[in-house]
Structure 1
Amino acid sequence: MAEQYSKPRQQAEIAFGKTQSQFFARGRAFEELDSITAARNEKTLRLREVRLAKELQDSIAPAAKPAPKRAGRS
């Protein structure tokens, strides 16, 4: 049941379809960039937390360990 439109109407429909698809493609591109940015920020936050925890552990660990004793030569 495809309707028959006049030639100018068909051209207008095609042009509108192209414009609309470009608009939606632009929106999808921005959504993809936003998701990449969000993933990068989450990873950065996770790595920062791990690094800070390791630095804290490393700063506490040397204070808890006594210096190793050297064996003297006889």
Structure 2
Amino acid sequence: MSQHSKSRQQAEVAFANAQSQFFGRSSAAEELDSLAQAREEKTLRLREARLAKESKDHEAAAASLLAKRAKRT
């Protein structure tokens, strides 16, 4: 009877270890997903800021060129 009890204890310990690894992986995956989402949001925000700056710079360059042309005539 003690042999069965020892086997059961070993099985329960092994199951607990497997279960904790599973839940550990699950929380790690959630953390990675959260980090990836934050990175995507930051990338989108930075891309929008860059495009707005490029547009503003392009408009300023065009206005400067038109001003130079206007001075020539």
Name the TM-score class by shorter chain: 0.7 to 0.9
TM-score computed with the length of structure 1 as normaliser: 0.74
Percent identity, aligned pairs only, is 65
Q: Which residue of 1 is the match for residue 18 of structure 2?
A: 19
State the superposition RMSD in angstroms.
Answer: 1.5
Q: Which residue of 1 is the match for residue 32 of structure 2?
A: 33
TM-score computed with the length of structure 2 as normaliser: 0.75
Unaligned 5+ residue runs, structure 1? 1-5, 70-74
Give CA deviations for 1:5-62 in whole Å, capped at 9, x if unaligned.
x222211111110000010111112111111111111111000000000011011112
Alignment length, in residue pairs?
63
More helix by share: 2
Q: Which residue of 2 is the match for residue 61 of structure 1?
A: 60
Unaligned 5+ residue runs, structure 2? none
